[in-house]
Amino acid sequence: MSTAKRPPGRRRAGALGPPLRPPRLPLHRPGPAGGTRDANRRARLAQIADAALDLFLEQGVPAVSIDQIVERAGVAKGSFYRYFRDKEELVGALLEPLELAIGKAFTDCRSALSRASSAEELSASYLDLARSVAMAIAAQPRAALLYLQEARGPAAGARAPLRRLADDIADRAEQLSRHACDHGLLRQFDPRVQGLVVLGAVERLLYEFLSGRRIAARPEAVSAMVVSIILDGVRQRPP
């Protein structure tokens, strides 16, 4: 295992959040749920996830081979193919908990915006979104860092799930801005520009925090600051 010092927020896979859920399981599962063999299966999956995240963050997704992952994990290569067809499926499984949590946060925010009728309620809706996303990141900090590190690359090979998530988040940000504009809560700027401005600032600041660089504030504080700064400029003012 890597002995390099981890920046703030980077924890071993399985230390927080749900266990890795592979896209397939063997036809004959290893014993009853919670039994010794089932625990061993979960441990192998955690070893694969941990090793993959270490290597992806160190070298970038395209540069890492399956041979490197299983060597770092200390498992047989057959154990990898028992659960994953290739690296793309592994990356998708690593991102799944984060993707589900962020999707729910955006859905909840849109529902809140549908009920909002004032600047205060608009701000509260976006701040709740920031808190929910921060909680998702706190539960999956290394997966979040991987996303922030790799999401701007081409949607090819094992990087495809990262780019799909990035595009989905951008689309959801645009939809929120459009929804708020249509309801008279934001000024009539291009909704995609508004959404990407907020998203770009938040993602860059979160990357700085998770990679242990210049930002010391917690993710929820960073997100809340960005939302407040930008909403002051784009919020619809009463006539």
Distance separating alpha carbons of residues 73 and 52, to the nearest angstrom: 8
Where residue 183 falls (left for φ over 0; alpha for ψ -120 to 50; beta otherwise) is: alpha
Query: Residues 128, 109: contact at Cβ < 8 Å?
Result: yes
Structure tokens, 121: 């309620």
Domain range annotation of the chain: 95-234
pLDDT of residue 220: 67
Structure tokens, 203: 């993602």
CB atoms within 10 A of CB 194: 24
E-assigned strand segments in the chain? none
CB atoms within 10 A of CB 138: 16
- Residue 29 is classified by DSSP as -
pLDDT of residue 110: 87
In sequence order, what are the residues at sequence separation of 6 or more whose Cβ sits closer than 8 angstroms to the Cβ of residue 188?
181
pLDDT values of the chain reduced to their tens digit, one per residue, 239 residues: 333 434 433 344 444 456 677 776 654 555 566 667 778 888 899 999 999 999 999 999 999 999 999 999 999 999 999 999 999 999 999 999 999 999 999 999 888 888 877 777 877 888 888 888 888 988 999 999 999 999 988 899 999 999 999 999 999 988 888 877 776 766 667 778 877 887 887 888 888 888 877 665 666 676 666 666 655 544 444 55
Task: Report if pTM > 0.85.
Answer: no
pLDDT of residue 176: 82
Distance separating alpha carbons of residues 184 and 197, to the nearest angstrom: 19
**CA distances for 177 relative to 68, 69, 93, angstroms:** 43, 40, 29
Please tell me the class of the 95-234 domain.
mainly alpha
Distance separating alpha carbons of residues 187 and 198, to the nearest angstrom: 14
